[in-house]
A and B are shown apart, each in its own frame.
Chain A
């Protein structure tokens, strides 16, 4: 059994294997829109490697973090803006 961690995504409790990128956790929770562009269009991960900045979310209150670059941690609070 791999070790798991528990976090909240938009208030919803989810449990994922340790080391899962936040972006993957968000996708597996069923969301595809992570945030809104300046003109209000839905946006989600594109490159998966920290270059495009499309996957930004708010983690523990801090806005505009790239969810594809951050491993999930126990007790993390993730907010999407999709």
Chain B
């Protein structure tokens, strides 16, 4: 057998593929990246870029916290266009029940060494004067931040290229087998291992992989510096985002370095095109206005949508595809893929190189899923 030209072929140059490429190239692997379209042009260009520690489950916490630390470590090297800003998150509580959630969350964070400060109604008002009055308070998590995802993806891919990675744009990989991925024109890209980092399109390369499209809308305003200071997320978010079946909207708003205000967010299943839907947009903006009435006076300049790559248990798939040891998955990051891209890249490289991982990898292994068990 002739030795493969590449150690690893990464299919997809979204934030996840780019991060994996940077990590693998850094570790000395010979890397090729295959992207059918633009670098960072998929969900990565649609995402909000909130780098956020989440606590739905211990596994979700471990990966988001691990990744957030990696973002903060890397931040001194970012070019300006990555727009990294450690603005912090405020989880906004509208009623007593949500204030109880603030206290629970604070305890959770404290127990795990994540700084988090409870704000009462007055402190919340001082921190964010444009929020409506009558809110109960919130939880400030100061180590959270934001990035501009497509530029972050481009930066990571440049890092990979500096360490010898090759990037092939313009053609999809249509199959992956033992010899490597095959492109649409029939070219075989010889590689020992193929990594499917195709985001919401990953089932097109690996049929049966349990990733579904979960559509989201966003709106961006003109520049209104200091209108909002932190990423603000309603705690009702937990109730709505948790529902895996129905459509939902939540107040989720972000200050950009340009002074623009990014307004989200919506979640929909079973919608297969990226058209902006006025009905969803209206619902989403209505929700935002309930929290920040002053938004009505701002002018919006653009609205768009993207597909979050969602898995049934809301954890990503990172590791070998059962029964196909030459195929690895790095997909299914749902609404957290910007955040978790860096941790994912570490865990992928750890598995490829048999390095010890910094956090337990088992919760993210594809073998845990239905698809995994039918192949196993």
Cβ contacts under 8 Å, B297 to chain A: 62
Nearest CB in chain B to that of A63: its residue: B224
- Closest A residue to B260 by CB, please name it: A38
B222 touches A63 (CB 8 A): yes
Within 8 A of A (CB), among B211-228: 222-224
Tell me the complex Cα distance, A64–B297, Å: 10
Please tell me if the beta carbons of A64 and B222 are within 8 angstroms of each other in the complex.
yes
Smallest CB gap from B258: residue in A: A38
B298 CB contacts on chain A under 8 angstroms: 64
Query: A36-71: contact bitstring with B at CB < 8 Å (1 yes, 0 no)?
Result: 001000000000000000001000001110000000
The answer on a CB contact under 8 Å between B299 and A64 is yes
A62–B258 Cα gap in the complex (Å)?
18
- Dominant secondary structure at the A interface: strand
User: 0/1 per residue, B217-254, Cβ < 8 Å to A?
Assistant: 00000111000000000000000000000000000000
Task: Find chain B residues with CB under 8 A from A38 CB.
Answer: 223, 258
Q: Which residues of B contact A56 (CB under 8 A)?
A: 222
A44 to chain B, nearest CB (A): 17
Bound together, the chains give a CA A64 to CA B299 distance in angstroms of 7
Q: How far is it, in angstroms, between the C-alpha of A25 and the C-alpha of B48 when the chains are bound?
A: 40
Chain B residues near A62 (CB-CB < 8 A): 297
**Which residue of chain A is the closest to B299 with respect to CB atoms?**
A64
Find chain A residues with CB under 8 A from B224 CB: 63-64
Q: Whole-angstrom distance between the alpha carbons of A56 and B224 in the complex?
A: 13
- State the CA gap A56–B301 with chains docked (Å): 13
Mask for B254-273, Cβ within 8 A of A = 1, else 0? 00001000000000000000
**Nearest Cβ on chain A to B62's Cβ, whole angstroms:** 39
Chain A residue numbers with a CB within 8 Å of B222 are: 56, 63-64
Q: Mark B129-151, 1 if CB is under 8 A from A, else 0.
A: 00000000000000000000000
Residue of B nearest to A65 (CB): B299
Per the bound structure, the CA–CA distance linking A62 and B223 in Å amounts to 12
Complex interface: chain B residues within 8 A of A64 (CB)? 222-224, 298-299
**Bound-complex Cα distance A38 to B225 (A):** 13
Q: How far is the CB of B226 from chain A (nearest CB, A)?
A: 11
| CB proximity of A56 to chain B, nearest CB, Å | 8
CB distance from B296 to the nearest CB of A (A): 11
B248: shortest Cβ distance to chain A, in Å? Answer: 30
CB nearest to B298 among chain A residues? A64
Cα separation A38 to B298 with both chains bound (whole Å)? 18
Mind listing 12 A-B residue pairs with CB under 8 Å?
A38-B223, A38-B258, A56-B222, A62-B297, A63-B222, A63-B223, A63-B224, A64-B222, A64-B223, A64-B224, A64-B298, A64-B299
Q: A56-B222, A64-B222, A64-B299 are in contact. List 9 more A-B contacts (CB 8 A).
A: A38-B223, A38-B258, A62-B297, A63-B222, A63-B223, A63-B224, A64-B223, A64-B224, A64-B298
